[in-house]
Amino acid sequence: MQQSKQAKPLPYNDPAHWDKMVAAYEAQSQPFTTLFADAAVARLPIGPSSKVIDVATGTGAAALAAARSGADVTAIDFSAGMVARVRAHGLPNIEARQMDGQALDLPDAAFDAAVSVFGVMLFPDWRAGLREMARVTRPGGSAAIAVWKSADGAAVHLLLSQIIRRLYPDTVTPMPVSGLAELADPTRLGTAVVAAGFSDPDVTEITHDFKLNVANPADVDKLFEFMPHWSGLDADQSAAVAHALRSEIEQRRVGDSFAIPSTALIATARRP
Ligand SMILES: C[S@@+](CC[C@H](N)C(=O)[O-])C[C@H]1O[C@@H](n2cnc3c(N)ncnc32)[C@H](O)[C@@H]1O
């Protein structure tokens, strides 16, 4: 009989995890999250002289989009590595600061607009993250919050979850990230935004393909590192999932690219 492997703890709450990810995130994830960040920022009424905060900025997708509008941007992240990467752009209208998004070291009503793209949803206390966004937004200001529409997230997480669910529907539970699960629904997202102190929520859906490069078979094996559930499967199940993944890639690849359609919800709201 096969032994189940021990499930690994999730790394998302550890800044050291994100510090190690900076280069890979910038190369592989930011081009994809930028598609959603641009859409979120475009929904904010900002321009030159607006003050904008980007919460959980990562390598700066939303901060860079807001800065292009001429706004003065404060980009915060709890990962020193991510903050250093944003600072390295050397843009005069982006100030990057290391900070926990659940307890911002910033005054009330300091910003005209607040944005968080695939950030607050990961916080253990995502409600505090949303409340902090509302607290630092001035009355009459606005916010845009992007989350995934699936509790399984997007891109590689989503693909692997879909395959594992298909093969082992009783084995896989959603990723144990409460904000990801709770906010992956337009009504619940709108309700959460209002509970945090915003009003007039408007939730829109947007889908883009994550283009997975499948040129190198060794890279396909590495995909399983992304998958928290993967570590809970036994050896036979792991082999079956790997086989299903490879055949799906072979059937649907276009050249060296394999598209994983991923849908986000973007909530915009106003600070009363
Ligand atoms: C999925 S990335 C999103 C980055 C960026 N917003 C984007 O769309 O590309 C999540 C980011 O949240 C940051 N993060 C996670 N927990 C945080 C917290 N409690 N406070 C501040 N940043 C946090 C991570 O360091 C990481 O940079």
- 187-235: per-residue pLDDT in tens? 999 999 999 999 999 999 999 999 988 887 776 667 766 665 566 678 8
101 lines ligand 1 (CB under 6 A): yes
Q: What is the pLDDT of residue 92?
A: 97
Please tell me the distance between residue 254's alpha carbon and the centre of ligand 1 in angstroms: 31
Q: What is the pLDDT of residue 1?
A: 29
Instruction: Average the pLDDT over 48-62 and give the result.
Output: 97
Please tell me the distance between residue 58's alpha carbon and the centre of ligand 1 in angstroms: 5
For 145-197, the pLDDT digits (tens) are 999 999 889 988 888 888 888 888 877 666 668 899 899 999 999 999 999 99
Please tell me the distance between residue 3's alpha carbon and the centre of ligand 1 in angstroms: 34
The residue whose C-alpha atom lies closest to atom 26 belonging to ligand 1 is: 58
118 lines ligand 1 (CB under 6 A): yes
Query: Residue 52: pLDDT above 80?
Result: yes
235 token code pair: 């050896």
148 lines ligand 1 (CB under 6 A): no
Q: Could you tell me what percent of the chain has a pLDDT over 90?
A: 67
Give pTM, 2 decimals.
Answer: 0.92
Please tell me the distance between residue 77's alpha carbon and the centre of ligand 1 in angstroms: 6
For 235-248, the pLDDT digits (tens) are 888 888 888 988 99
Query: Which of 115-124, 136-145, 203-212, 245-254 comes out lowest in average pLDDT?
Result: 245-254
Neighbours of 170 (CB within 10 A): 6
Instruction: Decide: 237 and 171 in contact? Cβ < 8 Å.
Output: yes
Q: Which of 32, 35, 30, 39 is nearest to 57 (CA)?
A: 30
37 lines ligand 1 (CB under 6 A): yes
Per-residue CA distances from 270 to 44, 62, 95 (Å): 10, 18, 24
Ligand 1: residue of 89, 94, 118, 121 to mutate (most ligand atoms within 8 A of CB) is: 118
Q: What is the pLDDT of residue 64?
A: 98
133 lines ligand 1 (CB under 6 A): no
33 lines ligand 1 (CB under 6 A): yes
Query: Residue 8: pLDDT above 60?
Result: no
- Looking up tokens 């879909």 gives 162
Provide the pairing of β-strand 199-213 with 137-148: unpaired
For the chain, domains (ranges, CATH) are: 15-153+175-208+263-270 (3.40.50.150)
Provide the pairing of β-strand 94-98 with 111-117: unpaired
Q: What is the pLDDT of residue 174?
A: 62
Largest pairwise CA distance in the chain: 65
